[in-house]
Amino acid sequence: MKEKIQIHDLTFVPYLPAEQIDKAIKRLSKEIEEKLGGRELLFVCIMNGAFMFAAELLREVDGDYEVAFARYSSYEGTSSTFALKEVMPLTVPLEGKTVVIVEDLIDTGYTMKCLKDKYLSEGAEEVYIATMLLKESALCNDIEADFVGLKIDNKFIVGHGLDYNERGRLLKDIYILEE
């Protein structure tokens, strides 16, 4: 890991190494197999942030399943707008399916609450949430992730799919905003 990185006007320092993230992803894949194994699953990767996590997670999950992609936005800069904007809607029917939403980070829980309600209203039989990272202290919605990779501090981070104004996503490690 680099000691410091600069993205736009902000400086970030090391927080989670790729090895720790990889270990959590392998554990999550086993938890998903144990709880949902044998079902026909539809994994919905929430773009853009969850693309790295989803690719790594789904490569580890044993079984035959569907994968779809959707993109929503509720962030501007470093904070939530609490207004969900559908940028790229799902293009597969949800009727009767067991859906696993694959998300990079849950902080306020706003997006996941909206999506779980939306997918159930569109006919999904069950909706589960798998997140790489959870900021438990930031939650302000009645939502629980079913599969959590790592619980982290309520700080702004980049890397491993997470960005600051569209930069920093491709870092293999995760960095935290320098204080």
pLDDT confidence of 1, banded at 50, 70, 90? confident
Cite the active site residues. 107
Across the range 7-36, mean pLDDT stands at 97
Residue 54 confidence (pLDDT): 97
Question: How many separate helices (H) and strands (E) can be counted in the chain?
Answer: 3, 10
Query: Looking at this protein, which amino acid is placed at residue 150?
Result: L
Helices (H), 61-167: 110-121
Strand runs (DSSP E) across the chain, as ranges? Answer: 5-7, 10-16, 41-47, 65-76, 79-88, 98-106, 126-134, 147-151, 157-158, 174-177
Across the range 140-150, mean pLDDT stands at 92
Residue 141 confidence (pLDDT): 80
Instruction: Encode pLDDT of 26-85 as tens digits.
Output: 999 999 999 998 898 999 999 988 999 999 999 999 988 999 999 987 666 555 666 788
Spatial contact of 155 and 168, defined as CB atoms under 8 Å apart? no
| pTM for this entry | 0.92
Instruction: Encode pLDDT of 118-130 as tens digits.
Output: 999 999 999 999 9
Our CA angle for 67, 145, 118, nearest 5°, is 60
